[in-house]
Copies of this chain bind each other. A is one copy, B any other.
Amino acid sequence: MAGIGDDAAVWQPSRSHLSVITTDALIDGVHFDAAGMDARAVGHRAMAANLSDVAAMGARPVLATVALGVAAQTATEWILDCYRAMSALAGEYGAAIAGGDIVRAPALALSLTIVGEVSRSRLKLRSGGRSGDIVALTGPLGASRAGLELLRRPELAVDAADARAARAAFATPRPRVREGRWLAASSHVHALMDSSDGLSTDLARLAVASGCGAEIGRVAVHPAALAVARAAGHEPRTYALDGGEDFELIAAVAPRAFAHLAEGFERRFGTPLLAVGKLEREPGLRLREDDGAVRGLTPAGYDHFAGG
């Protein structure tokens, strides 16, 4: 690795693997609020979002580059804290920040690029899902949205443990890198992506890419999301369906293999692999209510270009 300081960073890619690359940009005032957020949380979340994209391919992260646009009022300590958090999280998953650029900007802006590696047989795309596949999640959703709600309304009366879990899910989300690699090793996992823009939006994308529709039978709402949504007077399911930023993985799994896979998953990670629905031949996204009624669902998660 030539590292930072030369015109480019250098590494030896694995000879037997494919390389993957993903980029995300985050802008102060659009994707985060530097005034109200810890620098470490901003760095952590940015890195988590990119690591999650790599995890969603079944790949392992190798290196990252960071382009940082810094406003005149940004303190050096803020920048260092942000970098340290990015570097620490990348390091936890075996990746390093290999280079970058730092420039003046009217508002704080972060652009991260991560390179990963995956063997050809383990590469998972969004498009591999098949009608009849069980839609599974690596964990329940909505806690990050709940954490945001607590940031906006700290006066909400919520149990301390739930508040802590929600705040942590928002500020220091865990990308499911190990879970992604584990799921990718199974040929019964047909498609994989992350739920970073909300289940309704991302499952709709997976279904479309796979030439299918999908029915959600059970919305897996995180207990902290349930508690905060109730205190806030919101419908808890919308936190899970439309909240986003949860970074759980969505997998399309062959139905006959699901029970065995879920058993192995729980043994390996200590948390259940949650079946939340299935892919169907009929296009579109549907929600099956507890009483059996099925209604159409409009994706209402994060639209990157609309910005909210």
Contacts and interface: CB of A to CB of B under 8 A. Distances in A.
Given A8-B116, A23-B66, A109-B109, 11 more contacts: A6-B209, A8-B22, A8-B56, A9-B22, A10-B18, A13-B13, A23-B111, A24-B67, A26-B103, A67-B67, A102-B304
Contacts of A123: 2, 10
Nearest to A21: B9
A262 interface: no
A53 interface: yes
17 contacts: A5-B126, A7-B52, A8-B20, A9-B20, A10-B19, A10-B123, A21-B99, A23-B65, A23-B113, A25-B101, A27-B103, A27-B104, A27-B106, A69-B109, A70-B305, A107-B107, A115-B115
A101 B24 contact: yes
A23 B305 contact: no
Interface in A67-114: 67-70, 98-107, 109, 111, 113-114
A116 to B, nearest CB: 7
Contacts of A98: 21
Contacts of A283: none
Contact of A22 (B99, B103, B118): B99
Nearest to A16: B15
Contacts of A126: 5-7
Contacts of A116: 8
Contacts of A29: 106
Contacts of A5: 126, 209
A125 B22 CA distance: 26
Contacts of A307: 103-104
A194 B304 CA distance: 35
This chain: how many copies in the complex?
Answer: 2
A19 B105 CA distance: 30
A63 interface: yes
A98 B21 CA distance: 8
Nearest to A123: B10
A98 to B, nearest CB: 6
A234 interface: no
A32 B125 CA distance: 37
Contact of A11 (B19, B102, B305): B19
B23 A193 contact: no
Given A102-B304, A116-B8, A125-B2, A63 B21 contact: yes
A197 B118 CA distance: 37
Interface string A22-50: 11111101110000000000000000000
B99 A23 contact: yes
